[in-house]
Amino acid sequence: MNTSKIANILHLFNSHHPIDVYDRGVLIVKIYDSISEPDNEVVCLTRNGKHGEDYRVKFTKQGLSNARVEDGNLVMEDTEGDEITIAFMETRKHSLVAEDID
């Protein structure tokens, strides 16, 4: 298992805003304290669907270790064996002035 790769992916989740590539939904990230077992869940991504339903995917350390970059996105296999494609966005604060809203 590639622990350096896992650490780099966890850093991405901590420092950027992950977006579901297929429907552009913003994902809420929960990172679990991990124990050294490769099948322990270490990341859970959650978002509300268009009709109010929860969409949740979980990843193990092994899933993170097997991740790859494709077309500038992160592709990982979740705990159910489905490939999930995630984009990472950076945001910057835009300082408003009165003219922006008047």
pLDDT in tens, 45-99: 887 767 777 788 899 989 999 999 999 999 999 999 999 888 887 777 778 888 7
Q: What is the value of pTM for the model shown? A: 0.75
Domains in the chain and their CATH numbers? 3-100 (2.30.29)
Per-residue model confidence (pLDDT) at position 69 = 94
The yes-or-no verdict on residue 37 having pLDDT over 80 is no
- Across the strands, what pairs with 27? none
CB-based contact 41:31 (threshold 8 Å): no
Of 86 and 16, the one with more pLDDT:
86
Give dist(CA 31, CA 26) in Å, integer. Answer: 16
- Nearest Cα residue to 27 out of 62, 94, 73, 96: 73
Tokens of 19: 């977006």
Long-range CB contact pairs, 74-78, < 8 A, 24+ = 74/9, 74/12, 76/9
Give dist(CA 54, CA 47) in Å, integer. Answer: 6
- Alpha-helical regions (H) of the chain: 3-15, 61-65
